[in-house]
Amino acid sequence: MPASKSIDQPEYQLVLDLIRAVRVEAGLSQQALTERLGRPQTYASDCELGARRMDALQLHQWCVACGTSLTNFARRLEAALSSDEKALPEKPPQRVPRRSPS
């Protein structure tokens, strides 16, 4: 069975929440942020809503425009994922293959 896409995983909402939080904490509107990035305002909206995915370089540019680093973003994401693990549905146990009788 193919792995599900990250955007389909419940943890992805943490990423969306964090990119928005970084912008808001910087005191930037979506318009002000996208002016710094040289993008239309809809870019920020689409990223924050999950309608547009960012690659690592775009995420780095977002962080820098908000006055933070990608490293700081990653630390915050790790902390959010760790604390949110308790709220996530439990994964089903993996099947252990049976040994054939000898």
Domains of the chain listed by start with CATH number: 7-84 (1.10.260.40)
CB contact set of 46 (below 8 Å; sequence gap of 6+): 52
Residue 83's pLDDT is what? Answer: 85
Chain centre distance of CA 37: 19
Across residues 60-83, what is the average pLDDT? 96
pLDDT for position 41? 96
Q: Average pLDDT of 1-10?
A: 60
Residue with tokens 């604390």: 83
Lowest-pLDDT range of 61-65, 73-77, 82-86: 82-86
pLDDT band at 78 (very low <50, low <70, confident <90, very high): very high
Tell me if 86 sits within 8 A of 78, measured CB to CB.
no
Please state, rounded to an integer, the average pLDDT across all residues of the chain: 84
pLDDT cut 90: percent of the chain above it: 67
Task: Give the number of other Cβ atoms within 10 Å of residue 23's Cβ.
Answer: 23
CA pair distance 73, 23, nearest whole angstrom: 11
Q: Write down the pTM of the prediction.
A: 0.74
